[in-house]
Amino acid sequence: MQHITASAPGKCILFGEHAVVYGHPAVAVAIDQRIKVKIELTDSNSHDWKLDGLIFDPKRHPHIEALKQRLWPSSLGAPALSIHIEGEIPTASGLGSSAALSVAASAALRAARGRWLNGDVNSPENWAEGFSSKISDTNVHSNNQPKDSLREGKLGDRVKFISGSQSVDVDECALLAHAVEAIAQRGRASPMDSSACSHGDIVVLSDCVEDGIEWQYSRTLTTPEGDREWQIHTVKPPANDVYLVIGNTGIHAPTSKQVEKVAEMLKNNPDRVKEIETIGLIAKRGIKSLLSGDYESVGRAMSENQLMLQSIGVSSPELEDLIRAASPSSLGAKLTGAGGGGCMVALTRDPKATSEAIELAGGRTIISSFGAKGLELETATETPLWSIS
């Protein structure tokens, strides 16, 4: 049967998790481990979606449900789909598995649907449908998507239909993935995971446009605590002999709970915003070191960042055991992601020694290069599985 597959990488956070939710700078690095999503039409006439052979349960998969509403609405006549997910990124472990899934699923759904354009130039300003940071009239965060998802007043102007790989846009996938992460994290999500899993390489989020690196776009989000804005940049991984060794505690820790815990702490103790600001300052220093290729300083900033993560209560004894074990053979080590369990990451020039030390302390390890390729559409056909007629 005709099918479409897309894959996206996971990520590790070098600096700034949690503080980035409040608009502070942060850095994420895409890792070699990926998630692959395959979609095809269901082989029955049923309206039920399937996920890995079972009836799709929207409550268990809020990210996919939110994407379905935006890209594949049954109200517009979109047929039921069967989705298969496979990958090497452990879930709920701080490695961006849900963002990687959302990014890959966005790309697969777009490739399966294609895109109507209002003009003959393939630029977002001429799209009759879709989401982009360059189009202001799409509210990607609203669950009430318009009944007719073609841009209003432009129906008659539709001049071109593009499908398959031509219709996939990295910015659109990152934007959609951020929106659905925000829904799953009860309104509090930075665009860090969604951008890193879309663009790959190294992603730098800042409160301003940084000099000397490639600025991609701004992202905004209204969170329960106020409006946030981030400037997203990408950096190519430098030719260097550094690796990431990830140590998994095996303890699942959902991001939304950890993010809520920090929000609660700040509500009860507004003074503790200083710790969040300190993480932002460490991240700023870490970004400078990274851009100048000073990996010894990058490692030191990571370890300092860990002390602050401990202080705000998102580390755990299991994470700290693995971090302690990794430290002698690495440039720096810290938890990655939301914490409370999940994974730690060490920056090292000796991945074998670091990995062995973490394993001896009881962690399962993954070794990754420092930066990996982003979203990839692996299989697509030019005939869409469905499109707006």
Is 18 a binding residue for ligand PMV by CB under 6 A? The answer is: yes
DSSP output for 82-121: EEEEEESS-TTSSS-HHHHHHHHHHHHHHHHH-EEESSSS
Does 34 sit near ligand PMV (CB under 6 A)? no
Q: How far is the CB of 277 from ligand PMV (least distance, A)?
A: 15
Task: Report the residue number, 69 or 223, with the smaller CB distance to ligand PMV.
Answer: 223
> Using DSSP, how many helices (H) and how many strands (E) does the chain show?
9, 15
Q: Residue 192, interface with ligand PMV (CB under 6 A)?
A: yes
Non-local (6+) Cβ contacts of 220 within 8 A are 227, 228, 229, 230
Per CB under 6 A, the segment of 134-142, 185-193, 299-307, 316-324 that binds ligand PMV is 185-193
**CB 10 to ligand PMV: min, Å:** 8
Q: How far is the CB of 15 from ligand PMV (least distance, A)?
A: 11
Q: Tell how strand 81-87 and strand 50-51 pair up.
A: parallel
20 binds ligand PMV (CB under 6 A): yes
Q: Which is closer to ligand PMV, CB of 20 or CB of 232? A: 20
Q: How far apart are CA 191 and CA 181, in angstroms?
A: 8
How many residues form the binding site for ligand PMV (CB under 6 A)?
16
Q: How far is the CB of 29 from ligand PMV (least distance, A)?
A: 12
Distances, alpha carbon 271 to alpha carbons 74, 124, 255, 278, 309, in Å: 48, 43, 23, 12, 16
DSSP class of 47: S
The alpha-carbon radius of gyration of the chain (Å, integer) is 21
The nearest distance, CB 299 to ligand PMV, in angstroms, is 20
CB of 79 to ligand PMV, least distance (A): 32
Binding part of the chain for ligand PMV, among 93-101, 133-141, 299-307, 357-365 by CB under 6 A, reads: 93-101
37 touches ligand PMV by CB under 6 A: no
Cα 57 to Cα 249: distance, rounded to the nearest angstrom: 28
The answer to the question of residue 180 lying near ligand PMV (CB under 6 A) is no
Q: Which of 69, 190, 223, 305 binds ligand PMV (CB under 6 A)?
A: 190
User: What end-to-end distance do the CA atoms of the chain give, in Å?
Assistant: 22
Residue of 318, 288, 296, 325 whose CA lies nearest to 94: 318
**Tokens 């007719």 belong to which residue?**
148
Return the number of the residue (259 or 357) whose C-beta is nearest ligand PMV. Answer: 259
- What would the x/- binding string for ligand PMV be over residues 244 to 283, using CB under 6 A? -----------x---x------------------------
DSSP letter for each residue of 282-298? HHHHHHHHHHTT-HHHH
Q: Which of 9, 23, 337, 374 is close enough to bind ligand PMV by CB under 6 A?
A: 337
Nearer to ligand PMV, 114 or 339 (CB): 339
Q: Which of 261, 266, 258, 98 shows the shortest CA–CA distance to 183?
A: 98
Amino acid letter, residue 161: F
**Contact positions toward ligand PMV, by CB under 6 A?**
17-18, 20-21, 94-96, 185, 189-190, 192-193, 255, 259, 337-338
